[in-house]
Amino acid sequence: MGSSGLMSRNNGQRLGITEPISLGGPTEYDLIKTRELEKYLQDAGLYESQEEAVSREEVLGRLDQIVKIWVKTISRAKGLNDQLVQEANAKIFTFGSYRLGVHGPGADIDTLCVGPRHASREDDFFGELHRILSEMPEVTELHPVPDAHVPVMKFKFNGVSIDLLYAKLSLWVIPEDLDVSQDSILQNADDQTVRSLNGCRVTDQILRLVPNIQNFRTTLRCMRLWAKRRGVYSNVSGFLGGINWALLVARICQLYPNALPNMLVSRFFRVYTQWRWPNPVMLCANEEGSLGLSVWDPRRNPKDRFHLMPIITPAYPCMNSSYNVSSSTLRIMSEEFQRGSEICEV
């Protein structure tokens, strides 16, 4: 690669499983158009106020304190020695649109509590932690959903909506600088924990795999607004949800690493209008992983061959995030991509 290739490399590695389509950088016109796009998104009410941003930060800080107290309380109750009670730790991570930096005002925050091996999901998380939260005046609308595919505790804290998941690691002590993206964290974890960790691991991978986070965010905000307005933003109805749009946009960012959002939006439509489904959209090569969890692989798993619009998550164990898409919803989305592409051409 010549010197022009350097810009598309993140600390020396190419992002994505193919070469970029273009390394072209922005013109003066692109800068102007991107500013117009940002102003449009601003006027559409997509950005929260500074006050709201600060109050979310405060709530997350408080939540982190609460789970730290919780884990010490249960460690003491289980008769762990003073040393272990002192070292006992839990940590709050965020994922989803808040972690990606594309959430709107009033959106709920997807959070994950990571706890040690002796803090159980049933008794300690849905028992003791639920009790602690239920007795706090700041906490309202507390709804535990322990039987969900991904068990969750939903509540509002000082008016901020929180979805709290739980991951029980096989560690006795959770280090404060824990990195959830390392595969070793999944060792000896039960299925519910693997599923609960997945959101965080995927979100963090996306942010690592895009060449420019700011450009990714603006483009994704635009595509989310477009998809909602065109009625194709919904996982349950067989269209695409937040994570799917994030992965599609991230792939465009890899293909045009030096492009600004105005350019990325039009390239989004052009690329996906021409995309030959069911070729999968992937941000990185699928790792096998040493833990033997099943990963998306149509060569090996016959059921994966039936997926019509595979959009593969970039963290082990990688899966198809868009298995709800049907032939009719795919047709509608293809028509919408075509329509978007034609508007951008004009």
Q: What is the pLDDT of residues 167-220, one digit of tens each?
A: 999 999 999 999 999 999 999 999 999 999 999 999 999 999 999 999 999 999
pLDDT at 109: 98
Q: Name the pLDDT band for 288 (thresholds 50, 70, 90).
A: confident
Q: Name the pLDDT band for 132 (thresholds 50, 70, 90).
A: very high
Domain 50-203: give its CATH superfamily.
Answer: Beta Polymerase, domain 2 (3.30.460.10)
Burial class (CB in 10 A: 0-12, 13-18, 19+), 111: buried
pLDDT above 70 (res 4): no
pTM to 2 decimal places: 0.93
Q: Transcribe 166-197 into DSSP letters.
A: EEE-S-SS--TT--TTSGGGGTT--HHHHHHH
Q: Note the Cα 301 to chain centre separation in Å.
A: 25
Question: Annotation-wise, does 97 bind a ligand?
Answer: yes
**Signed CA dihedral, 96, 248, 26, 222: sign only:** negative
Domain residue limits, the chain: 50-203, 212-345
**Signed CA dihedral, 32, 33, 34, 35: sign only:** positive
Region at 106 (left for phi over 0; alpha for psi -120 to 50; beta for the rest):
left
Mean pLDDT (whole number) for 147-153: 96
Question: Annotation-wise, does 242 bind a ligand?
Answer: no
Question: Annotation-wise, does 147 bind a ligand?
Answer: no
pLDDT at 9: 42
> What architecture does CATH give domain 212-345?
Orthogonal Bundle (1.10)
pLDDT at 13: 54
pLDDT at 14: 65
pLDDT at 3: 35
Question: Annotation-wise, does 96 bind a ligand?
Answer: yes
In this structure, are strands 9-10 and 13-14 parallel, antiparallel, or unpaired?
A: antiparallel
Residue 136 amino acid letter: M
Question: Annotation-wise, does 177 bind a ligand?
Answer: no
Tokens representing 17 are 């499983």
**Spatial CB neighbours of 321, under 8 Å, sequence gap ≥ 6:** 243, 244, 247, 311, 312, 313
Q: Name the pLDDT band for 16 (thresholds 50, 70, 90).
A: confident
Mean pLDDT (whole number) for 218-227: 98
96-116 pLDDT, tens digit per residue, is 999 999 999 999 999 999 999
Question: Annotation-wise, does 163 bind a ligand?
Answer: yes
Any idea of the CA torsion for 105, 141, 120, 116, to the nearest 10 degrees?
A: 30
What angle separates helix 261-274 from helix 28-43, to the nearest 10 degrees?
A: 90
CA angle 227, 233, 237 (to 5 degrees): 145
pLDDT above 80 (res 11): no
pLDDT above 90 (res 22): yes
CA angle 233, 236, 237 (to 5 degrees): 70
47-60 pLDDT, tens digit per residue, is 999 999 999 999 99
Alpha helices of 44-156 — where are they, by DSSP H? 50-77, 82-87, 96-100, 130-134
Question: Annotation-wise, does 124 bind a ligand?
Answer: no
Give the separation between CA 273 and CA 34, rounded to whole angstroms: 22
User: What is the overall mean pLDDT for the chain?
Assistant: 93
Give the separation between CA 221 and CA 41, rounded to whole angstroms: 8
**Signed CA dihedral, 171, 56, 231, 342: sign only:** negative
**Spatial CB neighbours of 140, under 8 Å, sequence gap ≥ 6:** 155, 156, 159
pLDDT above 90 (res 130): yes
pLDDT above 90 (res 287): no
Any idea of the CA torsion for 240, 243, 248, 249, to the nearest 10 degrees?
A: 120
